[in-house]
Chain A
Amino acid sequence: MTTQTVTLQGLCAVYGAGARRVTALDGVTTSFAGGTFTAVMGPSGSGKSTLLHCAAGLDKPTAGTVTIDGRRLDDLGEDELTRLRRDRIGFVFQAFNLVSSLTAAENVELPLRLARHRPPARDVLAALDTVGLTDRAGHRPSELSGGEQQRVAVARALITRPAVVFADEPTGALDSTASQQILRLLRALVDDHRQTVVMVTHDPAAAAYADRVLLLADGRIVDELTGGITATVVAARIAERETAPAGSAVESSC
């Protein structure tokens, strides 16, 4: 039996109040096992990003609990939470991944330096080498392409050897070659280092790299695929849900 790196229990996220009230997450309960690759899919506005932010401790859910590595996030203070994030969690966002005044190498070593140990230069270079950017170590983000910036962010997620890497549409703006590079890197994290990856995507082809696909709609998990995941299967499932009659007025659990 595999251990659960991240566990979500009855997660609710509500924004605004009154007429402007939006329920972004409506009682999500699931978990991500160590050494697995999960893709989170669903229509725009279905709460995917919110799910990721809550799971990573970047946002506080209105209700429910998040457990990472056996530690409940709501028990942690701001500093402990930050430290947990620094040591155990990696991020790859869709955009704005890097600090613009730092070079690629400095961006990669940033989490470690914030934790007050300076990694040896070769570790940084090794991380950049994994993402194929050794020759770009001294470049600043403005001198890198979108895909390269994304790969620097992956290298940064690699260097702390985090238990779990969250990626929000990491390939959203990339062509298929660049996308494949990123996805292979994420896959390698799981296969070679037994790390856990949770990735939000709209692309069935990207989801095909995952071991498991969660489908979100209106803040709920409405479907889940495990095993035999290919782009065609995923696309078919999504199409199926769109044509299916809306699960008329489910009682909100938040």
Chain B
Amino acid sequence: MLSIRRSVGAFVAVAVGVTLVAVATLLLASGRPQVPDRLADAAVVVQSPEAGAAADSFAPTRPWSAARTAELTSGLAGVPGVTAAVPDRTFYAQALVHGRPSAIDAQREDAHQGHGWSSTRLGGLRLTAGAPPRQAGEVVVDRALGLRPGGPVTLLTAAGPQPYTVTGLVDAPGVYVADDVAAVLAPGVRVIGLLIAPGADPEKVAAGVRGVVGGDGRALTGDGRSASEPRNDARTRWIGMQVLTATAALAGFVTVFVVASTFAFDVGQRRRELGLLRAVGATPRQVRRMVRAEALVVGATAGLTGLLVGAALAPVLGALLVDVGFEPATFRVRYEPWPVALSIVAGPVIALLAVWSASRRAARVRPLEALREAAVEQRPIGRLRVATGVLLVAAGLALSVGTATADQARDAATFALYAVMALVAGATVLAPAAVRPVVRLLRSPVRRPGGAIGMLVRAGASTATRRTASIAAPVLLTVAFAVLVSGMVRTTTAAYAAGRADDVNAGWVVVPDRAPGLSDRAVAGVGGTALLPTTVFESDPDSSPTDRPLTALGVDPVGFAAMNRALTVVAGSLDDLGGGDTVVLPASANRQPSEPYALVFADGEVVSLRVVAVVTDDSIPGDLLLPRSVVRTHDPSALTSAVYVRDRVDPPVGARVVDVSAWAAEADRAEDRLVWLFTLLLIGVSAGYGAVAVANTLLMAAAGRVADLRLIRLAGATRGQVIWLVTAESALVVLIGALLGGAVAFVGLLSIRAGLAEQAGVPVDLVVPWSVVGGVVGLCLLLAVLASALPTWRSLRHRPARSPA
């Protein structure tokens, strides 16, 4: 009973869906942490203790102090099988090319890292030219920078630009200095790499290592060494994982949705045939099974097709993900078995889920329907359907509010996706009920030019509400999704920026340019109020989790108080922040002024501090305040994130000056850019789908309407009139879908705005990117008109009586 023409639509929809699922899961499975090249030859990597924080905070490990490092290194060197124990020191350093940081690899964390020369032993790195650095002022650089041994180079470090001499070149990112220079720049060590004797078993060595380090670190071997990958890479990978999971989930959902409407439509068109089957002896079960079996065949073949296409596309898309920053540069596509298995199963499962309700409806077709015209549907919408729809919409609204009030931007995005799904599913379920009122609403514009055509268009759309609704469904989905997601992202971004700008009392902000932060020299040259962030660790052994990472801000208290409008002191005085042992804590830390408070700094030293003031939690853009000099003393590589100034100044090397509102808008620019790209990706997926689905159902509808149109022609309509009729019909359906989708999205956006306004405490503007919305509606309209006008035009080439029945 399977007809090729009829199943093409479902086939394409399932195939596209499985392609997306396959690509997304293949890439997802490929995104595994990599052993850094720099540590490739170290069979055992000893890492300092993990920070006591959630895995997705990407906090660095708690470093060992210089003394502890020396102690560990000599202890480790004595473990049987170990030929050398080399501390891997990492600090901030960036070579300036033509007086500016190089644009190459600006995104790669390891491009602005410096290491001691001995680290090269751990990666088996060889000089391609020149000699190793032996003393202060000598450096080996990446040969990609195009510098020559013997020539001068300026290195940008946390202190400022420093003159160096290039002694050699290597084929790797980053810069390498003499070990004692590195020891000064990076007193705290997080990794000690072990080279082992040929034939020694890394696991045995690791066991020996555990005896030496005890609880003060971890011994990693084999693939486990990938835990020492750069934190930024881990973070990027994590973002990629979110993107891919969301894409796969969305693709699965949209596919079920689109395929379901295709099947529903198909069953609607085949009522007469199904009735005939029932009349000649098919039981309801047989009809149901037949419809499901068809879906299964379509799903299985389309699934395989999708898998093959997906497997072919994965490397291309993988490269793209690296380019836009959703995956680290070390990302490679690997064909793991589980995504393949998942994709093989996905096709039939999607098809079966999608055909579920259609097959039940098919089984309810009565035999008599073979004998009667049944174009006028009796009951457009059942009570159960209304209840389902209302429940889904309610869940969607609740999730929207959850989106707006979530603390974490990431949680918000997840909430948002499910909110959209629930709202859209609810709207689609309820759509048949809305078709008639909307058609009535749209009556006047169609009536005037149409005359008889207008009458036919209106009557067709409102009698066959289910048919209209199932054609409008993909448009509804696409438009609702595009409006809601893009509007939500833009509104949220704008709201955060507004809140941020509101907190800052300054005219201009100096921010880093092509560098991770500003050096001390740059800050000194600018004046103003600077923030010097560093990661510290709670050192209280009784607290749980131990080694909790905190973001400390090194500030000058007077300038900070003047600049920060959100600052509210609860106890003590900010002015007392100044001695080498003072700290300001937020209220949630539960300490009183003059209580002691110990922290581990980036150099691995434990420092006992004294609380001088307590402020409200939302007073500071970090976890605690320290005097700037304290941060500098314990973290030679700390970089200033921003300097707030009253008047415009000339930017120093590696910096730009922007006004406060621009700074607020771009403060999260990298993250916002990723989020926006992600949004466009998701909208693209759903819009592409919507387009496929619209074209699909309209093509099917066109085939089913040939007889009708022939009658209309026989009744005296010209070809032009018939084409105009079908064009107007599909435009009307797209319009209905767009209106319903827009309405759903608007409701969602309003609830999001309400939540944001409450959270930010400032009025929030609703930002809707109309270009995206217009593009999506236009795409649907274009495809709808093409998909209905073209087949009609083809069938009209014949004389009316000869058109195929």
Please pick, from A78, A79, A101, A156, the residue contacting B280 in the complex, using a CB distance under 8 A. Answer: A156
Partner of A101, one of B1, B282, B366, B370: B1
Which of A81-89, A203-211, A222-230 is the contact stretch? A81-89
Flag whether A190 is at the interface (Cβ < 8 A): no
Cβ contact within 8 Å between A86 and B280: yes
Chain A, range 85-99, C-beta contacts under 8 Å to B: 85-87, 91, 93, 96-99
Chain A residues whose CB sits within 8 angstroms of the CB of B366 once the complex forms: 58
Chain A residue at smallest Cβ distance from B3: A101
For chain B, which range describes its interface: under 10, 10 to 19, 20 to 34, or 35 or more residues? 20 to 34
Residues of B within 8 A of A85 (CB): 279-281, 367
B286 touches A58 (CB 8 A): no
Residues of A within 8 Å of B278, CB to CB, are 82
Q: Which of B355-390 contact A (CB under 8 A)?
A: 366-368, 370-371
> Would B281 and A96 count as touching, CB distance under 8 A?
no
| Cβ–Cβ < 8 Å partners of A61 in chain B | none
A115 — which chain B residues lie within 8 A by C-beta? 281
**Shortest distance between the CB of B520 and any CB in chain A (Å):** 80
The answer, yes or no, to whether B62 is at the interface (CB within 8 Å) is: no
Which residues of B are found within 8 Å of A168, using beta-carbon distances?
371
Q: Does B162 contact A (CB under 8 A)?
A: no
CB-based contact A83/B281 at 8 Å? yes
Chain A 92-126 near chain B by CB (<8 Å), digits 1 or 0: 01001111111000000011001100000000000
- Return the contact of B285 from the options A49, A79, A91, A99 (Cβ within 8 A): A79
**Interface membership of B272, Cβ < 8 A:** yes
- When A59-B368, A93-B370, A93-B371 are in contact, do A78 and B804 touch as well, CB less than 8 Å? no
Q: Are B1 and A102 in contact, with the CB atoms below 8 A?
A: yes
Question: Which listed residue (A53, A59, A99, A142) contacts B277, Cβ 8 A?
Answer: A99
Per-position contact with A for B1-22: 1 when CB-CB < 8 Å, else 0?
1110000000000000000000
Report the separation of the CA atoms of residues A99 and B273 in the bound assembly, to the nearest whole angstrom. 6
Least CB distance from A198 to B in Å reads 15
| Distance between Cα atoms of A96 and B372 in the complex (Å) | 10
Contacts of B367 in A (CB 8 A): 58, 85
Distance A78 CA – B278 CA, assembled complex (angstroms): 10
Give complex CA distance A86, B3 in Å. Answer: 24
- Docked CA distance A79–B371 (Å): 20
Decide yes or no: A91 and B804 within 8 Å by CB, A79-B284, A102-B1 being known contacts.
Answer: no
**Chain A residues in 8 Å Cβ range of B715:** none
Decide if B273 touches A100 in the complex (CB within 8 Å).
yes
Residues of B within 8 Å of A101, CB to CB, are 1-3, 273
Check B54 for interface membership: any CB of A closer than 8 A. Answer: no
Q: Is B104 among interface residues, defined by CB-CB distance under 8 A?
A: no
Shortest A140–chain B CB gap in Å is 11
The contact of A53 among B1, B281, B371, by CB within 8 Å, is B371
- A82 touching B3 by the CB < 8 A rule? no
Question: How distant is the Cα of A191 from the Cα of B435 in the complex, in angstroms?
Answer: 57
Neighbouring B residues of A102 by C-beta, 8 Å: 1
Kindly supply a per-residue 1/0 record for chain A positions 154-192, scoring 1 wherever the CB is within 8 Å of any chain B CB and 0 otherwise.
001000000000001000000000000000000000000
Q: Which residues from B are CB-within-8-Å of A98?
A: 276
Chain A contacts for B281, CB-based, 8 A: 82-83, 85-87, 110-111, 114-115
User: How far, in whole Å, are A59 and B279 apart by their CA atoms in the complex?
Assistant: 10
Q: Which residues of B contact A100 (CB under 8 A)?
A: 273
Q: Which residues of A contact B272 (CB under 8 A)?
A: 96
Interface membership of B57, Cβ < 8 A:
no
* B283 sits at the interface (CB 8 A): yes
> Which residues of B are found within 8 Å of A86, using beta-carbon distances?
280-282
- Is the pair B279, A79 in contact by a Cβ cutoff of 8 Å? no
CA distance A139 to B1 in the complex (A): 15
Instruction: For B284, list chain A residues within 8 Å (CB).
Output: 78-79, 82
**Assembly CA distance A83 to B277 (angstroms):** 12
Q: Is B441 an interface residue (CB 8 A)?
A: no
Q: What residues on B are CB-neighbors of A142 within 8 Å?
A: 804-805
* Residue of B276, B283, B370, B805 touching A83 (CB-CB under 8 A): B283
Expressed in whole angstroms, the minimum distance between the Cβ of A161 and any Cβ of chain B is 13
In the complex, chain B residues 770-792 whose Cβ is within 8 Å of any chain A Cβ: none
- CB <8 Å contact, A91 and B280: yes
Nearest residue in B to A87 (C-beta to C-beta)?
B281
A78 to B280, CA, bound (A): 13
Q: Is the CB of B282 within 8 A of A114?
A: yes
Interface centre among B277, B280, B284 (most CB of A within 10 A): B280
**How many angstroms between the C-alpha atoms of A168 and B372 in the bound complex?**
13
Q: Which of A59-93 contact B (CB under 8 A)?
A: 59, 78-79, 82-83, 85-87, 91, 93
Which B residue's beta carbon lies closest to that of A157?
B280
Q: Which residues of A contact B805 (CB under 8 A)?
A: 142
Q: Given the complex, which residues of A lie within 8 Å of B368, measured CB to CB? A: 53, 58-59
- The answer to whether B286 touches A114 (Cβ under 8 A) is yes
Residue from the list B3, B276, B283 in contact with A79, Cβ < 8 A? B283
Instruction: Tell whether, in the assembled complex, residue B370 and residue A114 are in contact, meaning their CB atoms are under 8 Å apart.
Output: no
Give the docked Cα–Cα distance between A102 and B2 (Å): 9
Neighbour of B279 across the interface among A83, A87, A91, CB < 8 A = A91
Contact with A along B261-285 (1 / 0, CB 8 A): 0000000000011001111111111
Q: What are the 4 tightest A-B residue pairs by CB atom distance, in nearest-first order?
A: A86-B281, A82-B283, A111-B281, A114-B281
A-B contact pairs, 24 of them (CB 8 A): A49-B371, A53-B368, A59-B368, A79-B283, A82-B278, A82-B281, A83-B281, A83-B283, A85-B279, A85-B280, A85-B367, A86-B282, A91-B280, A93-B371, A96-B371, A97-B276, A99-B276, A99-B277, A100-B273, A101-B3, A111-B280, A114-B280, A114-B286, A156-B280
Query: Assuming A58-B368, A59-B368, A93-B371, what are 16 further A-B pairs, CB within 8 angstroms?
Result: A58-B279, A58-B366, A58-B367, A58-B371, A78-B284, A83-B281, A85-B367, A86-B281, A96-B272, A96-B370, A99-B1, A99-B276, A101-B3, A114-B277, A142-B805, A168-B371
